[in-house]
Amino acid sequence: MRGSERWKSGSEIGSRIKKNVNRGSLMASDADFVLLISSDDRKGIVAAVANSIVSQDCNIVESAQFGDASTGRFFMRVAFSVPAGMTLDMFSEAFLPVATAFRLDWRVHDLSHKLRAMIMVSQGGHCLNDLLYRTSTNRLRIDVTSIVSNHLTWQRRADHEGVPFHHLPITPENKLEQEAKLLAMVEEQQVDLIILARYMQVLSDQLCQKLDGRVINIHHSFLPGFKGAKPYHRAHERGVKMVGATAHYVTADLDEGPIITQDVSVVDHADTVDDLIAQGQDTESRVLARAVKLHSEHRVLLNGNRTVIFK
């Protein structure tokens, strides 16, 4: 899975404005929009963008930008309030001259629209439980459409939350068939984001390509030193002093997609394997939730195989 949606370049936008607009065009009077921009760096972009927004009677609430000297690319995120009755289509049409003049890659989002998220899990439920709690307390801007698993372990948990549960057991023989079912569910549920909450199956290259930019994964940060089974046991044997986690976009290159966020916790000689596992699970839950929050608030932009994060 490549790490971001494919944006339209400034030269392509004119005939397909609606491709740049999220579902749901009528906004409430107090709705906020967020505009994401990526382009070749050049003078005047910030001023032109700000002038376009203000000329539409919008009020800029938050603005951040970054110019990468090593790549010559410019990145910008602007959050703003809009006047009553303004739609995404209306804003996009008025912004088009600026986008075209500066050849911007851009996308505008309605911040009142929660992303529709599918959570995939195997048998470890720490990340799943954390995501469900944060969602139920409105600490994450997502609506969970379903929970998908290759095991039945968390069906009762899904039932308790009132979230549809789908059991898709995977074998080498049925992998492609089950992935086809998964794609059908993604389409039917209009899924914006897939969260691999310790889902212990490798997605096929074909699936990664079809779900480009829509999948976030979490794993421990012992990689590549301790691959495979029982990494915490082998890390304990080596006397590691930190355990950590990495959240990243999924690509066809296993565990090598653009990194969104990471964190670590310190361990010492007195900690047992169980202590390491417990700390690792806490860190994984925290890091995954942070990555989902950043993505759902449209704060992540791709810069090659790296990310620009506007906090």
Asked if 79 and 135 sit in the same domain, the reply is no
Quick check: is 5 in a domain?
no
10-20 pLDDT tens trace: 434 333 333 34
Across all residues in the chain, what is the average pLDDT? 88
Quick check: is 3 in a domain?
no
Buried b (16+ CB within 10 A) or exposed e, 23-50: eeeebeeebbbbbbbbbeeeeebeebbb
Given a cut of 70, whether residue 83 has pLDDT beyond it is yes
Q: What is the pTM of this model?
A: 0.87
Q: Which residue has the higher pLDDT, 268 or 12?
A: 268
Asked if 53 and 133 sit in the same domain, the reply is no
Say if residue 164 is preceded by a cis peptide, omega within 30 of 0.
no
Q: What is the pLDDT of residue 237?
A: 87
Which residue segment(s) compose the domain that 233 sits in? 115-309
* SS3 category, 141: coil
Structurally, how many domains does the chain consist of? 2
Q: Which residues pair with 39 in a beta bridge?
A: 74
Q: What is the pLDDT of residue 14?
A: 39
Q: What is the pLDDT of residue 220?
A: 85
Residue with tokens 């971001």: 4
Distance CA 172, CA 99 (A): 47
Q: What is the pLDDT of residue 255?
A: 73
Quick check: is 291 in a domain?
yes
275-309 pLDDT tens trace: 999 999 999 999 999 999 999 999 999 998 999 99
C-alpha separations of 223 from 7, 23, 91, 197, 226 in Å:
31, 38, 44, 17, 6
Asked if 140 and 94 sit in the same domain, the reply is no
**Positions marked active-site:** 255
Q: What is the pLDDT of residue 222?
A: 65
